């Protein structure tokens, strides 16, 4: 069972994501703010971090903070950013690929 950290500022959205992840046997811990999410990275073993930014939020800054912490960890960490749709072209995905994380657009 994979350990997933979900950084989501919207409680209702987080509930839906947790239910979806449970169907693929992921154990998910939810945090609503970046500071507590970064603290959890040092307290628990996490394989995946999912960032679901609030609309209009600087999601790149949030992901960069997580990437900075991940580089200091012993085991690799996969980072996924869930962006609200609609798809706006390849710019975000190209940026993510260059930086080593994944962008997924929600419907």
The answer to whether residue 17 scores a pLDDT higher than 80 is yes
- Position 102 confidence tier, pLDDT thresholds 50, 70, 90: very high
Percent of the chain with pLDDT strictly greater than 70: 100
Domain locations in the chain as residue ranges:
31-106
- Position 85 confidence tier, pLDDT thresholds 50, 70, 90: confident
pLDDT of residue 103: 93
Mean pLDDT across 41-48:
91
Mean pLDDT across 57-83:
91
Tokens encoding 13: 């959205």
Tokens encoding 14: 């987080």
């Amino acid at each position: 069972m994979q350990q997933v950290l979900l950084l989501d500022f919207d409680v209702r959205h987080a509930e839906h994501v947790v239910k979806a992840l449970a169907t693929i046997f992921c154990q998910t811990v939810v945090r609503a703010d970046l500071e507590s999410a970064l603290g959890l990275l040092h307290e628990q073993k996490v394989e995946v971090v999912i960032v679901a930014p609030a609309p209009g939020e600087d999601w790149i800054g949030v992901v960069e903070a997580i990437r900075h912490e991940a580089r200091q960890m012993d085991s690799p960490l996969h980072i996924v950013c869930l962006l609200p749709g609609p798809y706006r072209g390849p710019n975000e995905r190209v940026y993510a690929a260059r930086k080593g994380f994944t962008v997924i657009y929600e419907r």
